A = this chain, B = another copy of it.
Amino acid sequence: MKKCTDYSRRRFFRNAGLGAAAITGLPALLSSCAGKSSKPAGLEDLFQEGHVILFQGDSITDAGRNRNREMPNDAGSFGFGYANLIASRLLGTMPQKKLVIHNRGISGNKVYQLAERWQKDCIDLNPDVVSILIGVNDYWHFRLGRYDGTPEVFENDYRQLLTRTKEALPGVQLVICEPFVLPDTSAVDASWMEPFSAYRRSAARLAEASGAIWVPFQEAFNAGMNLAPASYWAVDGVHPSMAGAQLMAETWLKALLV
């Protein structure tokens, strides 16, 4: 999935005009893969001056943000979650890039609810990078009998959303985050894992088909659970702790660099 020949990734890196990649005349990722540069790609190489980055999703992205503000690069508008940690890292370490970073996650959202507000909360912001984390409510609310969307509905709705995004924003770099759950927690038990895996596989297929960067959150949490109990990373198995948000931020940043 992270093939060096991925067209969307090439485009993303080709846009990064100010980094080492531009100096060599080759996209950083490609030059790294081809062994033509000894300098690994860094975050500096990924973003062009003035790039607009959007985080989209459900409560995990929302993370208590003040939805009355919705200002870019503003802590209160970002909430307490992984999007804040990532945005703070990007803004603090690359001041010269003048990045503009938004959070538009809304608690409780399923993929069709992203679609309902996509014009206002994505397209109109004209983002260069769109990171999406969605899926846990699509399963959770289905499991609870509050929603009749099947995994197939999820995948079809998600595919349409991505197609629409690429049509409206031809140069956009998509980042698709793996939805995840942690068993042996207050809300999630082992019986979630098999049915929920369908949603994870859907997201992975769509990432591959759309040339998105894939962020393997479930894999990261599985590794984390070898070091500390699931509840250390997310008390209810869905909403990450501070440690869980940090694990997500590191995983997201690493996915962009690989």
Q: Are B78 and A228 in contact (CB under 8 A)?
A: no
Whole-angstrom CA separation of A88 from B84 in the bound complex: 11
B-binding segment of A1-9, A167-175, A243-251: A243-251
* Interface residues as binary, A73-109 with B (CB distance below 8 Å gives 1, 0 otherwise): 1111010110011011101110110000000000000
* Cβ of A227 under 8 Å from chain B: yes
Q: Is the beta-carbon distance between B247 and A92 smaller than 8 angstroms?
A: yes
With A85-B85, A241-B75 as known contacts, state yes or no: A246 contacts B92, CB within 8 Å: yes
Q: Does A242 contact B (CB under 8 A)?
A: yes
A210-B243 Cα distance, complex, nearest whole Å? 32
Total interface residues in chain A, CB < 8 Å: 33
Nearest CB of B to A88, in Å: 4
Q: Could you tell me the distance in whole angstroms from the C-beta of A249 to the nearest C-beta in chain B?
A: 8
Given A78-B80, A84-B80, A95-B232, the answer on whether A73 and B227 have CB atoms closer than 8 Å is no
**A–B complex contacts, Cβ < 8 Å, 11 sampled:** A73-B241, A75-B245, A78-B80, A84-B84, A84-B242, A87-B242, A92-B244, A92-B249, A92-B250, A95-B233, A95-B243
Q: Identify the A interface with B (CB < 8 A).
A: 63-64, 73-76, 78, 80-81, 84-85, 87-89, 91-93, 95-96, 224, 227-228, 232-233, 241-247, 249-250
